[in-house]
Structure 1
Amino acid sequence: MGEEDPQLDEEVQRVLDAIDALGAGELPAAERARRLTQLLDEWPNTHSRVRAMRQAAMQEMQDDGLSLRKISAETGVSFGRVREIIQGVTKRPKADKQDPPEPDA
């Protein structure tokens, strides 16, 4: 299993430990592969749900009167990123992660 990070919230660590357990060698390889495939199949939807929950939580903080700077300080997310999250802006891939340019013919 992965080493625990003292900076992580206990519940977040439990989720990460559960993911690590899916790949643990205690089960036959075929069963591990099946479970990990299920996780990967669900990952895009799960990622979207987590992003939406984070956006809602930050919006709630703002609705409760907190400034973007205060939200940033309380969550550890940069001021600019807090603003983007509340506005629903998703991160765009960096230029180096896009498809490479076509070679000259």
Structure 2
Amino acid sequence: MPGIQLGSRRARRDNEQRQRALEAELRRLGQHFRAGHNGEGEWQEPTFILQDIGPGELARLGRDFGQAAVLCGSGTRAALLWLDGGRAVQAERRWLVCLPPEPRAFK
């Protein structure tokens, strides 16, 4: 479940343009993806969740789109890969836990 998040406190318009460019590149590559978001409040921004992409290709996309890091995962494991020149230089590994959905209130 790799992901690319476009954003380090850039102007909203710049982020939106980069997001559209990344989406176009993912489509050109035939990459399957889903839209998502990362962060909360003023730091919340859109992201793409990719399937079947290795850490090397993910790092290349991160480099091409000016990212400091990309999130890469498999199963219940995830790693935040910090980038330098398009290659991962450090990984912060975590275990993922699925939470049950919150019950909906009936109307």
For normalisation by structure 1, the TM-score amounts to: 0.25
Report which structure shows greater RCO (CA 8 Å, sep ≥6). Answer: 2
Structure number with the higher strand fraction is 2
Structure number with greater Rg is 1
